[in-house]
Structure 1
Amino acid sequence: MASGTGLIAVTYGVVRYGYGLQLPQLAAEFALSAPAAGAVAAGGFAAYCVSALAAQRLLARGSARTVLWLAAAVAAVGALVVATAGSAPVLALGVLVAGSAAGAASPAMVVAVASTVRGPRVARAQAVVNAGTGVGVAVTGAAVLAAPQVWRPVWFGAAAAALLTAAAVDRLARWPAAGPRPVDGATTGMLRPLLAAGVAGVGSAAVWTFGRDLVTTTGGLPGRTTAALWVLLGAAAVLGALSGDAVRLLGLRRAWALTVALTAAGTAALALAPGAVLVAAVAGAAFGGAYTAMSGVLIAWGSALRPQAAGEATAVLFVALTAGQALGAVATGALAGRVGAPAAFGVSAAVLLAAAGVLPARVRSSAGV
């Protein structure tokens, strides 16, 4: 669990969401406009989808360890490209490659946890590993806080950490036997969670891509203050480790509605008062914890529908979530250029509320539906 949490921290919190966290520095150094920054983020999200679909196919063939090393390799390569980028196109290429790593990391870790942890602790273990996103965001935020203009070493460190954590996971996990196995259609009967994940992705892209830029540029908060706020967001995201218990106690329907509604509330609060430190702190913490818990609920939702193919189900649902984020990043950047960032964030919050209304069907399962 510790090594898996570390891998998720690197592939999500650093090399995927680190771009948005460091966007003020990157935009200044590479002269990126809001639409251009959104397009770069969308490219990373789209690459994630390609990686997750490839992971799904490999998992169906019983190649979970291959998926693990695919995630580590693309994270390391992408991070190195970003770290050495000298122009906007090279930066965009690195973000695209690095952003794809998480698409393979989550499905691989779902399989690793399911085959290693036994009994009722599986759901909690999945949630804890998934909450590694918050650890990565907090670490990246702390690095930005300590040295706001020195962003390249973060990406060099991420490249090394991706390989080291993958090696630890590979050694410690009890991998299932390799070889192809029959799996039902990955999307059969999953229209509802796919729709919910896609709409939630559209709405959540605003904060991950433009959140820090909003409080820095529009809100006028100092760079060190906004970095500290994102450390808080990452620390709160660790609370997503409780998503497994939330599903067990509340059921999938209420857990989904609650986590998505709280994600919307955090987004809306940032839109209303981006220059108020206390509001931004509470909003960021609410968003971080709720979003990570929401993604944990998606894992539980997919596992309930596909108990024998939880990794493949996670890959498909996270593709929908990330495809939505790709669309949301472009739309938010374009909308911000026309009506301003606060209004664009308000629209994103409304989209998230719509996603909260797409609820799991009323059926019973071992996941606590």
Structure 2
Amino acid sequence: MQARGSDGFSMVFTVACVAMVSVTYGMGRYAYGLFLPSIRQAFDLSTFQLSLIASFNTAVYLLATIVASASAIYFRPKTLIVAAGLITTCGLLITGLATNIGLAAGGIILAGVGGGILSPAMFEAIEAWLSGRWKARAIAAVNAGAAPGLILTGLSAYWLQTSWQQVWIAMAGIGLAVTLWHAWLLPDHRITELRAQPKLKLRPALFLRTDCVPLYLSLFVYGLLLSTYLTFAVDLILSTGGVAFPADRLFWVLLGLAGLLAMFTGKAVTRFGVRGLLALSMPLCGLSYAMLAAAPGNQTVILLSAILFGISSIAPGNGFLVWGISLFRDRPSAGTGAVFTVLSLATIAGPILVGSFSGRIDLLSVFYIVAVLPVLTIPLFPRRLFNTDDAAGGAAQIS
């Protein structure tokens, strides 16, 4: 393994991180939305019950994120990254072998823990180990890292059409392979020396500053955008006849393929600033909702909506991460923890809100309402360019 900070190490480490994000997020957290109709049929569940599973999945992810954010600097990144992979793999396998809804739901919820453990340690390592020119690239690539997982999930589901649970077993196999690769590949370095004290002490006031409020409000809307589409889009297009089984699996593949383009948004933050990136991508994400709501039975519109959502829904995450890290520069895991915590609260709320109003508001109306929200957040976006490179002694700024 090449020395930390070198371009060779930075590239290999980034690729490894993307692979693990594909497992913990693309499979462990997001696969549920693709199989929601199959799980509904297999266990005879209502929309509200399905929504609770999605929300509990995110709730345990949130708890894991909070714990990992507070403790990441005290562990070797390798330890937490490998643990995240093992936990996700176990959750996927339990779901694949489940014979009742209790075990299936438990596996789905356990699979959501891995991402929460992974993210704080990974971003601490990116900030500490990578050269300045690679940090923005790595953040962008990792932020879009769920896309390969979506692609593999969709393709596996298309090939193994006889049983949705066989797909979860196959995903567990992929997860185990990726985890073993990380156990062999990653350096066994600490971020800080033993007993070293972090520069920035964690305290409630740190997260309740007024300059954090715009970030939190924008993130909450972003979380609603992510959770509603990823949980209910397939259910919507199947129920309205826009796409029939097994073509819905290819819809998921298309989401992942489009999301790969977001890996190249690292330079977009440097060139256009966080505000420029968010002001473009968030409304486009809302437009993908409007398209699906307006023509849920039109296959061409459905495919265009998937492509647009795949690109525009991942791109904002890069801006939010850079924004969050910039507000907690002396302890990046606190910044990423704050971002993922607020994002998790929104993704918990999204499915519950949809499930709670399922008897009074149909999914089409929900998608129309959510489509408008991103436009309302534009005034909240920062007017400065935030950068994670400390070489200049602080965040660079442009108007």
Match for residue 172 of structure 1 among 170, 173, 186: 186
The match for 2:156 among 143, 150, 160 is 143
Distance 1:108 1:166, change over 3 A: farther
* Structure 1 residue matching 2:358: 3-state secondary structure: helix
Cα distance in 1 between the residues matched to 2:170 and 2:313: 25
Q: CA deviation at 1:136?
A: 0.5
> Which residue is equivalent to 1:215?
237
Q: Which amino acid in structure 1 is aligned with residue 387 of structure 2?
A: S
Equivalent pairs counted in the alignment come to 368
Q: Is the 8 A contact 2:48 2:352 kept in 1?
A: yes
Mapping 1:53-202, distance limit 5 Å:
53-170=66-183, 171-173=185-187, 175-179=190-194, 180-185=197-202, 187=207, 188=209, 189-202=211-224
1:11 partner amino acid: T
Q: Secondary structure at the match of 1:337?
A: coil
CA distance in 1, matches of 2:62, 2:344: 7
Could you tell me how far apart the structure 1 residues matched to 2:342 and 2:320 are?
11
**Deviation at residue 345 of structure 1 after TM alignment:** 1.2
Q: CA deviation at 1:319?
A: 1.4
Letter in 2 for 1:115: A
Contact (CA 8 Å) 2:274, 2:386: kept in 1 or not? Answer: no
Distance 1:354 1:340 in 2: 23
**Residue 194 to residue 66, structure 1, CA distance change in 2 (3 Å):** farther
User: Is the aligned partner of 1:348 residue 2:363?
Assistant: no
Contact 1:35–1:333 (8 Å) recurs in 2: yes
Q: Report if aligned partners of 1:199, 1:324 keep a CA contact under 8 Å in 2.
A: yes
- Once residues 165 and 227 of structure 1 are traced to their aligned partners in structure 2, the CA distance between those partners, rounded to angstroms, is 23
- 1:243 to 1:353, Cα distance in 2 relative to 1, 3 A: same
Q: 1:320 aligned to 2:342? A: yes
Pairwise CA distance, 1:227: 1.5
Residues 230-249 of structure 1 aligned to structure 2 (within 5 Å): 230-249=252-271
The partner residue of 1:229 within 220, 238, 251 is 251
Aligned to 1:366: 387
How far, CA to CA, are the matches of 1:302 and 1:220 in structure 2?
39
Structure 1 counterpart SS, 2:131: coil
SS at match of 2:246: helix
RMSD: 2.0
| TM-superposed deviation, 1:357 | 4.1
Deviation at 1:154, TM superposition (A): 2.7
- Bigger-Rg structure (1/2): 2
* Secondary structure at 1:231 match in 2: helix
Q: Matches of 1:22 and 1:357 in 2, distance apart?
A: 37
Cα displacement string for residues 201-227 of structure 1 (whole angstroms, at most 9, x for unaligned residues) = 123321110111111112342112221
Listed as ranges, the gaps of 5+ residues in structure 1 are: none
Structure 1 CA distance for aligned equivalents of residues 357 and 105 of structure 2 = 21
TM-score scaled by structure 2?
0.86
Alignment-derived partner of residue 284 in structure 2: 262
Local SS of the residue matching 1:22: helix
Q: Deviations over 1:123-180 (max 9, x none)?
A: 0122112211111111111112222342223322333433443443453346523434
What's the CA shift string for 1:92-120, capped at 9, x where partnerless?
21111111221122222212323332121
Verify the 8 A CA contact 1:59 1:312 in the aligned structure 2: no
Structure 1 residue runs of 4 or more that deviate by more than 4 Å after TM superposition: none
* CA contact 2:19–2:178 (8 Å) conserved in 1: yes
Residue ranges of structure 2 left out of the alignment (5+ in a row):
1-13, 389-395
Aligned residue for 2:236, secondary structure, equals: helix
AA partner of residue 246 (structure 1): A
Asked whether the equivalents of residues 106 and 130 of structure 1 are also in contact (C-alpha less than 8 Å), the reply is no
